[in-house]
Each structure stands twice: as structure tokens, then as C-alpha cells.
Amino acid sequence: MINKKLIASILALCSIPTCVRAENVNIFVNKTPLNVGGFIMDDTTYIPLRAVSEALGAKVSWNSNTQSAYVEADEDTQTAQVIANASESVVAIVGNYKSGYITGAASDYNELTAHGTGVVIKSGGVILTNAHVVNDIDNITVVFSDGESYPAQIQYIDKDSDLAVVRVNRLGLKPISFGTPDSVFAGQSVVAIGTPLSLSMRNSASRGIVSGVNVNMSDAYYPLLQTDAAINGGNSGGPLLNMKGQLIGINSSKYAGVGIEGLAFSIPLDTINYVLSQFEANGKVLRPDLGVTLENSWEARIGLPTKKGVTVKTSKSDTLKAGDVISSVNGMEVHSIVDYNKALRDTYFSGNINVIYTRNGEQISSDIVPKIN
């Protein structure tokens, strides 16, 4: 965030002997190169404040009477800059339903076609989207912001995390910049870009905040981000961006109904990074399986805070039995099925899985060899 105060020193011209023009210093703002040079003086690299600030959408002014520089950026300017910088990386995805009309898919565009959104993650034609956007459609076509369209193929898909990667035969694309998971917080301003309702509205944007992080929803496999940015049919698979224009989530779902407003959800970066790394390493997401089905406590089902674990409903395990209550997986407490899935995701790399559970009032710790599915 650019403040209105002076945020950097300005050295437009240097005649001091220790000032050396650094021809090999390249300046990038949100991965866009600036055609201006920096220089090094006393082992410190200086870059032009005006060029960098204006590239971020700020207005720079100079008061010669007070020898002061002023950088001004309002939220509207920043939002416009985020949208302008990211739009080239956002695509519409359209295809034909495999078998007639399917409710709850990417969009109710009509009885034959469905559409959603994707975001470029590699310049060689690699695009990230939701699994539910592409899972039930044929003849997948990707439409770019310049209006060009290309046929696409599903490269990887994982229905549990609701993420998929499609590829097109187009090079030189602009990949989106990724944020970091620990930079996301409730109250943070965000922008969602997508293709709501109609292909004529592709790359439409909405603004909001992160309403919650690590949100457990009963129909989600991993925790989600909650946002009040407007997300509608066709936005699925599009990016949720911070005000630096960095990807912090993939928009996936919303609640709709009388009296319900501003309840939308995005797949967060920790899940995105995990799934993409699994795709790259294995061609799919490999998950450890303890051979059990689980059920939440009634508190977890209705969203109340609880210290209760998850109950084994059915078991093919030699160790765990129906009725056991699992409270910890590899040292991580679990109070819901989403917690359980996240614990396996974040702690298992190989070998046994340590499970702490209660049976007939007795707490037991066991190391279990999982199957890998």
C-alpha cells in the first residue's frame, strides 16, 4: 500500500564520484519491466520514485518550496490498476455439457453450453481453474482477454480440492503473480475477476474484502477463504487478488438465497500450492488413506467451536474401529473432517501416520501405515 507520505528517496541526477550507473539493474513492477534505469551509490541501489509509483497507479508531485515529494493513491486507482494488470492473465472457459443440462455446474448459460473462468499460471499455455468448471464438458475452449480463442485439454484434475489445470497451444502468455499464504488476513481488500452469467461479461471485476480465513464448510474438502466480493455463476475458476494484483485464491462457490448476501468462497493458496506441486510430481494428487469414513460431531456440523474429535463411522483398518474418536493426526488436533483432511495434507510425506484416538474412554496412540490413493 502506497502512503501519501514520502516513501523513498529521489535521486534523479547524481554527480557524486561514488555514484555508479548500474546498467544491469532491471526494475519490475508486478512483473512488468520499466524502461528506466537505477544506479548504485555506496552499495545501495536507487530507483526512480515517479516511475515506480506511477506504474502502481499512484500520482506523484513535487513541492520545490518545501523540497518534498508526495505520492497519492486512492483505493479506486489501485483497484483499476489491479484489474488492468491482471486482466491479460484471466480467461473465459466454455464447453458443451457431456449429457444435456447439469444444474450447479459452472453456469446455467443454456442447456447445451457451460462457461467459467481460469487464470494463466505459466506462459506456455498452462491455466488453472476449478475442477467443476471443466469436469462435465467437452470441446473445451479458452477465450483470452484479446478475444482470441483456443481449444484446450484437461492436463490435471482433482475433484476433492476442486482444482484443475488445462493447457492451450499458445505461448508468450502473461502468468498471474502469486501471493503468499501468510499474507492473507480477514479485512484485506480483494478483487475478483471472472465471467459472470454471460461470455459477453468476461473479465468483469468486483471488489470486496476477505471475510474469513480457514473457514470449514461441510461440503468442502479443505478450509476455504470467505469473501464478500460478488461472485456469480461463471466466476468459478477465476482469481481472487490482493491489492498488489497477486493471486490469493481461486473463486469456487457461493451461498445464494433469500436474506443471504456476500457469502462467497475461494480456494486458498496453501491448497493451490499443494495441489499444483502434486500435479507436477505425480500427475495427480496422491493422498494417504487410513481406510475409514468419518462423521463430524453435531457441534462441527452446525459450525459451533468444539474440542471434540471426528468419529470413525466405518472402517477397513486393522487398527481403527467404528466408534473411535480421532483427536489428533501427526500432532495436529482435528475437530472436523476438514481438519482431518488438512492435517493429512500438511503433515504426511511418507511412512506411518500417528493417530491419537479414544476408544471406550481410553486414549490410544497408534502409528498406522496408510494406503496411497
Q: Which residues are catalytic?
A: 132, 162, 236
Place of cell 471475510: 211
CA-based nearest residue to 159, from 287, 317, 270 = 287
The pair phi, psi for residue 4, each rounded to 5°, is: -85, -5
Longest dimension (CA), the chain: 81
* Nearest-angstrom CA–CA distance, 268 and 215: 10
88: Cβ contacts below 8 Å, ≥ 6 apart = 144, 145, 146, 174
Could you give the dihedral angle defined by the CA atoms of residues 354, 360, 361 and 364, in that order, rounded to the nearest 10 degrees?
-20
DSSP state, residue 369? P
Q: Contact 338/325 with Cβ under 8 angstroms? A: no
The β-bridge partners of 314 are 293
Helix axes 337-347, 269-282, angle to 10 degrees: 50
Q: What is the DSSP string of 310-356?
A: EEEEEE--SS--TT-EEEEETTEE-SSHHHHHHHHHHH-SSS-EEEE
SS3 78: helix
* Nearest-angstrom CA–CA distance, 238 and 118: 5
- Quick one: cell of 61? 508531485
Q: 162-194: b or e for each residue (b if 16 or more CB lie within 10 Å)?
A: bbbbbbbebeebbbbbebeeeebeeebbbbbbb
DSSP state, residue 89? G
